[in-house]
Amino acid sequence: MKIKSVLISLSKPTGDSSPYFEIEKKHKIKIDFCPFIHVQGADAKDVRLQKIDFSNFTAIIFTSRNAVDHFFRLAEEMRFTVPDSMKYVCQSEAIALYLQRYIVYRKRKIYFGEKEAEDMIPLL
């Protein structure tokens, strides 16, 4: 049975240099792009209803840049000042460097893995 079409769970690439377009031409198949995941930040109201108090935590794990943005947006909405003693564990170095937008980057409070979630286990 020959494959005629492929569904890819990403948004459609903007440029023409995507390898998906080369595969499409080479094998004469149809490729459909449909993002399955949509990340939406929680409201401060929802966090309060769940009785989550940021001051009870001494560390936070970030798995994406989007998570960093949402955390600091929530902290601002809830009028929570993030203490200097807060520790951050990031899935990759890119996310750790992205934290510089919000905090002063110090090696002693930011830990990161290589790229996979399993890389963070020794850090915890």
Residues 5-62 pLDDT 10s: 888 888 888 877 888 888 888 888 999 988 888 778 888 999 999 998 898 998 898 8
- Look up the pTM and report it: 0.68
Is 27 in the same domain as 67?
A: no
Number of domains in the chain: 2
CA-CA distances (angstroms) from residue 35 to 9, 18, 96? 5, 16, 26
Name the more confident of 121 and 98.
98
Domain region containing 30: 1-38
Among candidates 115, 122, 97, 116, which has minimal Cα distance to 107? Answer: 97
In whole angstroms, give the CA distance from residue 40 to residue 11.
Answer: 16
Burial of 44 (0-12, 13-18, 19+ CB in 10 A): middle
Is 31 in the same domain as 50?
A: no
In whole angstroms, give the CA distance from residue 76 to residue 99.
Answer: 15
Is 52 in the same domain as 33?
A: no
Q: Which residues neighbour 58 within 8 Å (Cβ) at sequence distance 6 or greater?
A: 85, 86, 87
Is 60 in the same domain as 117?
A: yes
